[in-house]
Amino acid sequence: MRAIGLSEVSAATLRKAHAVHPIAAVQTEYSLWTRNPEIAVLAACRELGAAFVAFSPLARAFLTGRLTDVSGLDAKDIRRPMPRFSAEHYPRNLALLPAFEALAREAGCTPAQLALAWLLAQGEDIVPIPGTTSLEHLHEDLAAADLKLPADAIARAGELINQRTVSGPRYPAQATQEVDTEEFAAG
């Protein structure tokens, strides 16, 4: 028998699937600005012995600090319809970056490295898969695994960018209805 992996599922769905066939891994969006897996999926993965693969660990380039103007995104760019990148929400999200970038400088790393180090600090069972089109950025991302950041820097990063500070939902309303993950209560 071979184990299978799942993508973007709730803890309940993961447990149901695992009861039928062992699940080897769950791939879900997880980063400082998308913390939904902390509600229940991470615990379910740990309970079942499934690896957790975090996609978009750099928040679709937001946490790199390099995407300051979304107006230049290609018309087919996946971020275009996402509320967090909209004219309403992106300026509010950009306001989070100066303090995050200052924390990265204080820690002696780049914002992308700080974001990845934060994610790696959430558990040895978490495997981030940052996407990149640049060899330079790949090397930068890989170096995050060797960082030894103080616990207070990791905690401060989590306090700066989280579900309470980020403006806008992850996906448009239609897409949200199609994603089977737990959501934080409004408020």
What is the tens place of the pLDDT at every residue in 121-133?
999 999 999 888 8
Residue with tokens 């290609």: 74
What would the pLDDT profile of 15-57 be if each residue is shown by its tens digit? 999 999 999 999 999 999 999 999 999 999 999 999 999 999 9
Given a contact cutoff of 8 angstroms between Cβ atoms, the answer to whether 80 and 107 are in contact is: no
What would the pLDDT profile of 141-175 be if each residue is shown by its tens digit? 777 888 889 999 999 999 999 999 999 988 776 65
**Could you tell me the two tokens for 134?**
């640049």
Q: Residue 187 pLDDT more than 60?
A: no
Largest CA distance in the chain: 50
Give how far the C-alpha of residue 6 lies from the chain's centroid of Cα atoms, to the nearest Å.
17
Give the pLDDT confidence score for residue 137 in this predicted structure: 85
If one counts every other C-beta atom within 10 angstroms of the C-beta of residue 2, the result is 6
d(CA 151, CA 157) in angstroms, rounded, equals: 10
Would you call 113 helix, strand, or coil by DSSP?
helix
Res. 138 pLDDT band, cuts 50 70 90: confident
d(CA 108, CA 84) in angstroms, rounded, equals: 28
